[in-house]
A and B are shown apart, each in its own frame.
Chain A
Amino acid sequence: MAADNKRLGSLSQWLTYAGLTVAGLAAAFPFVWMILSSFMTRGETLRRVFVPQVVQWANYIEAWKEEDFSLYFENSLWIALFVVVGTLLFSLMAAYPLARMEFRGRDSVFLVILATLMVPETVTMVPNFLTVSWLHRVSPIPWLNNWPALTIPFMVSAFSIFLLRQFMRGIPGELYEAARIDGAGHLRFLFQIVLPLCRAPLLTVGMFTFIGSWNALGWPLLVTNTPHWRPIAVGLQKFVTEAGPEVHLQMAGAVIATLPVLVIYALVQKEFTEGISMSGLKG
C-alpha cells in the first residue's frame, strides 16, 4: 500500500514536472523564435527556417541605425525612468494614508481610486489629450512633443496604490506606536520605517510600471509628432512596411527592446515574486 502510494506520488510529481516543462517550453518558444529570427537573412525569414545558416549580426547594427532606433531607445529609457520614479513616489504617498491613517471618507476615496481601474484607457484618451493640450498652452514647459505629456499623466496608478496599500495594511501597528514614542510623525514613519519594509512591493510596482511605459505606443503617437521624444515601440512599428514586415530587422529590434526589461526582471526577480505574494494578489 505504502509502495503504491509512493509510486502514485512520484507519478504525480513526474506528470507535474512534465506539464511544467511543456508549459515552460511553450512560454520560451516565442523568445527563442525571436532571437533566432533576429539572426536570419530576410530570405530565411521568408522561407520560415528555424535556425539561421549564418548568424547575421549585421541585423542588429542595421536595426540600431535605422529609423532613429537608437534615439527611440534612449527616449524610452528616460520616459520609463521618469514614470517609474513618479509612480513610486505618488503611489507610496497615496497608499500610506489609505492603509495607515484614519479619516472620514477614507474607504470611499479608496473605492473611487479602485473604480478608475475599470475605466478603459480608450475612454480617458480624449480628456487626457485635452488636458495635456491645455497644459501645453499655459505651461512654461511645452507638454506636447516633450517628456511631460509622455510621463506625468502616468505617474499616478490606481493599481500601484492598491498593491502598496494592501502591503502596508500588513505592517504591525506597534511599529507606528514605537515610532511615535520616538517622536516620529507620519511622514518620517513612512520614509524611515515603511519604505524599507516595502522594498518588495515597490520593486514590483516599479517593474510593472517600467514594462507598461516601455511598451506604450498609442499615447506616444498621439502626443508626439517628431522623433525627439518618441519611444522604442514606434521604432519597432516602422519595420512593418505596407507591403510586408521586415521580420529579421523587426526581431533584432525586438531583442534590443526586450533587453532592458529582461535585465531589470533578472535583478528584481526575487522581490517581484515576493511583492506579488505579500500584497495578496496571488491566490
Chain B
Amino acid sequence: MKNNTPTELVAAFLLVLISLAACGEQEGVQKQHAVSLESIDPTGQEIVFWYQHVRAREEALQEMIAQFNVGNPHKIKVRGEFAGGYDDIYNKMVVGLQGGAIPDLLVAYQGQALEYYLADGTVDLRPYIASEKWGLSEAQEADFVPAFMAQDRIRDGIQTGLPPNRSIEVIYYNVDWLRELGADGPPQTWDEFARLCRAARDAPFSGNLNQERSLGFILDEDASRLAAMVFSRGGNFLNSASDRYTLDTPEATASLQLMKELVADGSVEMMGESYGDQTAFNVGECLFILRSTSGLPFVQEGVGSGADFDWDVAPPPHTTTKPVVNFYGASISVGRTTPEQQLAAWLFLKWFTEPPQQALWVRASNYFPARLSTRDLLEDYFAANPRYRHAYELLYYGMPEPALAGYNGVRRMISKAVVKVVQGGDIAPTLQRLQREANATLEDY
C-alpha cells in the first residue's frame, strides 16, 4: 500500500474499519433485505445521484434526469449532482460512510463499488433485478452485454452495480502516414507494430506540424494501457479464480520488454503531460496512440484543428487468434439508505439503462451502450460515425480489468512499475515485487 497517496491510505484504512464494523451488522442488513420489495412504495421519493460528468455529458444527463422526473409514474424526483472526479467521489463516499451522508445513486468503478458494498454503503441489486414487480424480465436482463453485467457481479451472484455504458481501448492510427510508410493497414502483431514505430521515427509524416519530433507511439503509464497490451497477448491481470493478481507473467514481461526497447531506440516516448499522446497524434507527431473509445470525438476535433489527416481506430496488435480488447467503465451503484429510497434509485437506474435512454446517452457521451438492443436505435449514429461503429464491433472481443476491492491502488502500483522498467529498471524483479505488493492489498479486505 506504500504506493498510495496519503489521502487514499487514510481512505482505504477507514474503509477497512467500516467493513469490519459492517460485519457485525450483517444480521440487521439481512433483515432489511427480508422486507418484501414488492410491498414497498417508492412514490414521492427524492433521491440524489453523484456523478463525475461535466460539460456536454452533464447537460445531457441533467436533461434525461428532468425527463425522468416529469415522466415517471411514481413522482420520484432525482437530483443529479456533480461530485468531482472518480477519486473525489471515492473520497466523498468514504467520508460520507463515516458521517452517514451517502447518496442514493453513485458512479463507481467495480473495485470501488465492491469496497462500498463491503463497507455496507451500497446494496446488492440482485433482489431488485429479480423482483417481479420492479425488476427486469429475463429478456431485459439478457439484453445487457453479459460481460458488462458480470463485471459488477461478485460472489453468490451479488450485483454491486449496473452498467450504463462502457468503453474499450483501441489503437488510433494515422492512415495517411501508414500509407507513406508503405503499410496498407494497422499492425496486426506487436512485431509489426514495433517495425512501424521505428519506421515512423525515421520517416516523419509529411503533414507533421512539428517536423522535429517524429514517433511511433507515446506510452502512457496508465494501468489500462498495460492491461490492453497484456490482454492482446492472451494474458490476464487475474488468476483463473479471479481472486489473485497475476502481474508477473510472460505476457506482461513481453509487453514491457517491447516498450523498453522502443523507448531506448527513440521510436517511443513516455507521456510527459496529461493527454500528451493525444496532442502529439493530433499534430501528426505520433503514428499510434492507445486510448479509450470515449475520446473519439475529441480526437476528431483535435485532428481537425491539428494536422487534419485521415485516421481510424483498430484493435491493439495481438498474438491471440482473434483480437482481445480491454473494456472498462464505471457502473452505477445504489446507496444503502431506506427501502423506499433504494427502490426509487433502482427505478431510475432501470429507466436510465433502457434502450431509448441508452441511445440518448450514447449520442451525448460517445460511450458504448450496455444494452444490446440499443444498437437498433443507433443506425443513423453508426452511419454518421463510422469509427465509432468500427470500435463498437470490437466489443465482442472485450475483456475486463480486475474488479477487486483496492484495484485503484494496484493501478497506481502498475503505473509506477511501468515507469520504473521503461526508465531502465529490471523487468523480472519489478514485476515480482508488483505482484507481491498487489496481492498484499487483498488482505486488507
Chain A contacts to B: CB under 8 angstroms: 41-44, 46-48, 66-67, 120, 122-123, 125-126, 129-130, 133, 144, 218, 221-222, 225-226, 234, 237-246
29 contacts between A and B (CB under 8 A): A42-B302, A42-B305, A43-B305, A43-B306, A46-B283, A47-B282, A48-B210, A126-B14, A126-B98, A218-B7, A221-B83, A221-B84, A221-B88, A221-B91, A222-B95, A225-B48, A225-B81, A225-B83, A238-B55, A239-B54, A239-B55, A241-B57, A241-B298, A242-B294, A243-B292, A243-B295, A243-B298, A244-B275, A245-B274
Contact (Cβ within 8 A) A120 B6: yes
Given A133-B99, A221-B83, are A238 and B54 also a contact pair (CB < 8 Å)? yes
- Are the C-beta atoms of B55 and A241 separated by less than 8 Å? yes
Q: Which of chain A's residues have a CB closer than 8 A to the CB of B14?
A: 126
Cβ-defined partner of A221 (8 Å) among B92, B99, B304: B92
Who on chain B is nearest to A128 by CB?
A: B95
A249, closest chain B residue (CB): B55
In the complex, A156 Cα to B158 Cα: how many Å?
47
Contact A129 B99 (CB under 8 A): yes
Contact residue among A41, A130, A242 (Cβ-Cβ distance under 8 Å from B99): A130
Cα distance A43–B304 when bound, in Å? 8
Q: How far is the CB of A121 from chain B (nearest CB, A)?
A: 9
Within 8 A of A (CB), among B42-63: 48, 50, 52-55, 57
The reply on B209 being an interface residue by CB < 8 A is: yes
Report which of A48, A133, A226 forms a contact with B100, defined as CB distance below 8 A: A133
Q: Which residue of B lies closest to A49 (CB)?
A: B209
CB pair B91 A222 closer than 8 Å: yes
B294 and A47 form a contact (CB under 8 A): no
Contact at A42–B100, with CB atoms within 8 Å? no
By the criterion CB–CB under 8 Å, are B275 and A222 in contact?
Answer: no
Whether A47 contacts B301 by the Cβ 8 Å rule is no
Contact check: which of A44, A144, A241 meets B101 at CB < 8 Å? A144
- A47, B283: Cβ atoms under 8 Å? yes
Expressed in whole angstroms, the Cα–Cα distance for A44 and B301 within the complex equals: 12
Please report whether the interface of chain B is mostly helix, strand, loop or mixed according to DSSP: helix
CB distance from A50 to the nearest CB of B (A): 12
Is B278 among interface residues, defined by CB-CB distance under 8 A?
yes
Contact with A along B274-302 (1 / 0, CB 8 A): 11001100110000000010110110011
Complex CA distance for A144 and B10, rounded to whole angstroms? 22
Write out the residue numbers on chain B whose beta carbons fall within 8 Å of the beta carbon of A245: 274-275
User: Would you give the shortest CB distance from A71 to chain B, in whole angstroms?
Assistant: 13
Q: How far is the CB of A238 from chain B (nearest CB, A)?
A: 4
| Nearest A residue to B103, CB-CB | A225
Q: Which chain A positions have C-beta within 8 A of B297?
A: 243
CA distance A225 to B279 in the complex (A): 33
Q: Which chain A residues border B99 with CB–CB below 8 Å? A: 126, 129-130, 133
Complex Cα distance, B48 from A243, in Å, reads 25
The interface bits of chain B over 245-268 (1 if a CB of A lies within 8 angstroms of the residue's CB, else 0) are: 000000000000000000000000
* C-alpha spacing A222/B93, complex, angstroms: 9
Given A126-B14, A225-B48, A244-B295: A46 in contact with B282 (beta carbons within 8 A): yes
Q: Which of A133, A222, A246 has the most CB of B within 10 A?
A: A222
Q: Check A122 against B7 for contact (C-beta < 8 Å).
A: yes
Q: Is B424 an interface residue (CB 8 A)?
A: no
Known interface pairs A120-B6, A129-B95, A133-B101; A237-B283 also in contact (CB < 8 Å)? no
A144 to B96, CA, bound (A): 12
Shortest distance between the CB of B117 and any CB in chain A (Å): 20
B84 smallest CB distance to A (angstroms): 5
A33 to B292 CA separation, bound complex (whole angstroms): 29
B351 interfacial by beta-carbon distance below 8 Å? no
> B82 to chain A: which residues have CB within 8 Å?
234, 238
* Across-interface contacts of B92 in A (CB, < 8 A): 221-222
- B85 interface residue (CB < 8 Å to A): yes
Bound Cα distance from A40 to B302, whole angstroms: 14
Q: Give 4 nearest A-B pairs by CB, closest first.
A: A43-B305, A243-B295, A133-B99, A243-B298
Instruction: With A47-B283, A144-B101, A244-B278 as known contacts, state yes or no: A237 contacts B85, CB within 8 Å.
Output: yes
Contact between chains at A48 and B305 (CB < 8 Å): no
Considering the chains assembled together, what is the distance between the CA atoms of A101 and B400 in angstroms?
Answer: 66
A120 to B48, CA, bound (A): 31
Q: Which of A66, A133, A243 contacts B294 (CB 8 A)?
A: A243
A43-B304, A122-B7 known, 20 other contacts, Cβ within 8 Å: A47-B306, A122-B10, A125-B95, A129-B98, A129-B99, A133-B101, A221-B83, A221-B88, A221-B91, A222-B91, A225-B48, A225-B83, A237-B54, A241-B54, A241-B298, A242-B294, A243-B297, A243-B298, A244-B275, A245-B274
Docked Cα-Cα span, A26 to B433, in Å, equals 39
Residues of B within 8 A of A46 (CB): 279, 282-283, 302, 305-306
A234 and B88 alpha carbons, distance in the complex (Å): 11
A46 CB to closest chain B CB (Å) equals: 5
Cα of A67 to Cα of B57 in the assembled complex, Å:
12
**B residues near A44, Cβ cutoff 8 Å:** 305
B208 shortest CB reach to chain A, Å: 11
Within 8 A of A (CB), among B30-80: 48, 50, 52-55, 57
Residues of B within 8 A of A66 (CB): 55
* Cα–Cα, bound, A239→B50 (Å): 18
Interface residues of B in 191-218 (CB under 8 A from A): 209-210
Known contacts A67-B54, A222-B92, A244-B295; is A47 also within 8 Å of B84 by CB?
A: no
Please give the distance in Å from B93's CB to the nearest CB on chain A: 10
Residue in B10, B50, B98 whose CB lies within 8 Å of A123: B10
- Inside 8 A of B298's CB, which chain A residues have their CB? 241, 243-244
